């Protein structure tokens, strides 16, 4: 079973200066979500040569 801690990324949305989370899609190929304030969409691909970083800034 997959660990819960890897099911989301923390994102600081610089557009509205708010924090939000991106969750894995059903296929496990992307983290997807929207800014909680302005609803701007964001999508981050999951790849083999990825990173262990869990928190990001979106501009």
Q: Over the stretch 2-24, which tens digit does the pLDDT of each residue have? A: 555 568 999 999 999 999 999 99
Q: Is the four-CA dihedral 33, 38, 40, 46 of positive or negative sign?
A: negative
User: What SS3 state is found at 57?
Assistant: strand
Structural domain including 24 reads: 4-51
**DSSP assignment string, 2-38:** --GGGSEEEEEETTTTEEEEEEE-TTSSEEEEE-TTT
For residue 50, pLDDT over 90 is answered with no
Q: Shortest CA distance to 10 belongs to which of 37, 39, 38, 44?
A: 44
Q: How confident is the model at residue 49 (pLDDT cuts 50, 70, 90)?
A: confident
Number of domains observed in the structure of the chain: 1
Asked if the structure places residue 59 within a domain, the reply is: no
Residue 57 lies in a domain: no
């Amino acid at each position: 079973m997959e660990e819960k801690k890897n099911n989301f990324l923390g994102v600081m949305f610089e557009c509205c200066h708010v924090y939000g989370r991106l969750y894995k899609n059903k296929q496990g190929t992307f983290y997807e979500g929207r800014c909680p304030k302005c609803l701007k969409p964001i999508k981050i691909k999951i790849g083999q040569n990825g990173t262990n970083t869990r928190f990001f800034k979106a501009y």
